[in-house]
Structure 1
């Protein structure tokens, strides 16, 4: 996307996010374009998932107004916990993809804990290349950079650790019963609330540069959005829409608190905490690994983050990869 178009759509989104009517003429004056050009930009916003209504004589209005993510607001909620980059973009194909691009670009000097948020992801991804769908203003989507000097092997259990960090942050908002589904999903009342996508850049034997992607449903009414599986959101659970900037700060702060210990000591000390939140603890499960299916009892995880499954042959360990998990 050209920078001029990007800036224009950011400006239009900032105008419309109050949920009030704005005439095409006033918007055109604000952004310095013709009304026809403005209509084209608003059409693109609609293609990204924004419900924009046009009423003759009144102008354009969003179905639901919402406060935009704001880097300064997030930093304010973080206080003096840590000084790191907090970057908010209006539109990106994917925060993970953009952060990986910055890692590859030697001119970008990323530090541990640097984080990138996006209001709109046009090509958001989940595990195994699945699409991550998130309504604009109704979700929290971001990626955080963290390096591991001891290489890829020292990252074992990272996705589980991130899930724990999200659950800890949610407690600040009155959500005390979130659960974890191995290896990287957060569930609330038996339905998916958030997902984690870890990607790694770097050479074998060298520092591993990880990109920690998180997508969290804030206001995604199940009656309005079909995301391909049963899902939950914080607004439905809490009865109010939480402040996304405050929520963003809480999750970032939780990650900043847990990641240093994980980097130094690995996942071992976090195993009991993860198992206490295990969605399928001591239940019969089915795993699909490629063309093979495995059935057994979920017996938690080990220090490497591998899932322990009790079968007729004893305990079998399953690591990441093409593995799906569901209750049986």
Structure 2
């Protein structure tokens, strides 16, 4: 973090969306104008759009609210909260600290240098454009009890987003949120634990807030952002607090009722319920009609052979045009 102190100080000043001269920025932070210019190049590499105008100085294309631990904790209870502006991966940070954190601990970041999605794929993580959140949860019932956890977390996030005004947000089996048939957020659940012991879970979420359309080539599929789904947009600290509360409440309920207690609720939010879909399993493609999920969290696909359950980490679901 020490190597980022100056860049973060510059971002805090520029977050107001106003012009600041290079000289004024340097004086505020105690560096030269040349050093300001050097740091600005890195800030742009982090995904922030910086405008430079002769005679006016620098400003961000749009001002934004920086994440703030105190503001978030004022709005929700959290057993342990860490806001780390620049990080390799919020999930990896939590995985490295299993056994040292209380249940419900959360890590938030402004920018991930090595964000990842399912199967180790890159997760695009520009500074301040999205919300990167990871939560630690311990399931005393063991590894088997974690089956379907990404589904209930998806429901928790969808319900929270609807409550703040994003009325059309839906879930997509097994780990995405959708808005108007486009990806809005992704969930990555990583687990450690032995058979017969408690399951230690790190639940990561990346939610697109205002990510620019120029980034689509990295995402690899149609996507949307919360600014399109929700008007007005909630303040970022308010949003983070609401998501922490929603996830915590849902995980506590999951411990009591299991996956079976969420099946009916899933149908209310399912983006592809009763629609033609295709399952991508390596080189194999299976087509059918999505008929919801079963009590184990398996996708139910109606094919010529009848309704078949599909469950596994190597399956991708897409609409079938």
Shorter-chain TM-score category?
Answer: over 0.9
Q: 1:57 aligns with which of 41, 55, 58?
A: 55
Q: 1:73 aligns with which of 66, 71, 74?
A: 71
Q: 1:139 aligns with which of 130, 135, 139?
A: 130
Unaligned 5+ segments in structure 2 are none
Task: Report if the CA contact (8 A) 1:221-1:236 is conserved.
Answer: no
Per the alignment, residue 121 of structure 1 pairs with 112
Per the alignment, residue 11 of structure 2 pairs with 13
Equivalent-residue separation in structure 1 for 2:143 and 2:31 (angstroms): 49
Q: TM-score, normalised by structure 1?
A: 0.91
Q: 2:221 aligns with which of 197, 212, 229?
A: 229
SS at 1:77 equivalent: coil
Q: TM-score, normalised by structure 2?
A: 0.93
Give the superposition deviation at 1:203. Answer: 3.1
Task: Report if the CA contact (8 A) 2:136-2:200 is conserved.
Answer: yes
Per the alignment, residue 264 of structure 2 pairs with 272
Give the superposition deviation at 1:83. Answer: 4.0
Range with greater deviation from structure 2 (268-277 or 225-234): 225-234
Per the alignment, residue 188 of structure 1 pairs with 179
Equivalent-residue separation in structure 1 for 2:197 and 2:42 (angstroms): 42
Per the alignment, residue 175 of structure 1 pairs with 166
SS at 1:26 equivalent: helix
Task: Report if the CA contact (8 A) 1:202-1:209 is conserved.
Answer: yes
SS at 2:38 equivalent: helix
Task: Report if the CA contact (8 A) 1:183-1:320 is conserved.
Answer: no
Give the superposition deviation at 1:301. Answer: 0.8
Task: Report if the CA contact (8 A) 2:78-2:106 is conserved.
Answer: no
Per the alignment, residue 283 of structure 1 pairs with 275
Q: 2:83 aligns with which of 88, 104, 110?
A: 88
Unaligned 5+ segments in structure 1 are none
RMSD of the alignment, in Å? 1.7
Per the alignment, residue 308 of structure 1 pairs with 300
Structure 1 residue 164 corresponds to structure 2 residue 140: no
Per the alignment, residue 28 of structure 2 pairs with 30
**Corresponding pairs, count:** 318
Task: Report if the CA contact (8 A) 1:235-1:242 is conserved.
Answer: no
Range with greater deviation from structure 2 (174-183 or 22-31): 22-31
SS at 1:153 equivalent: helix
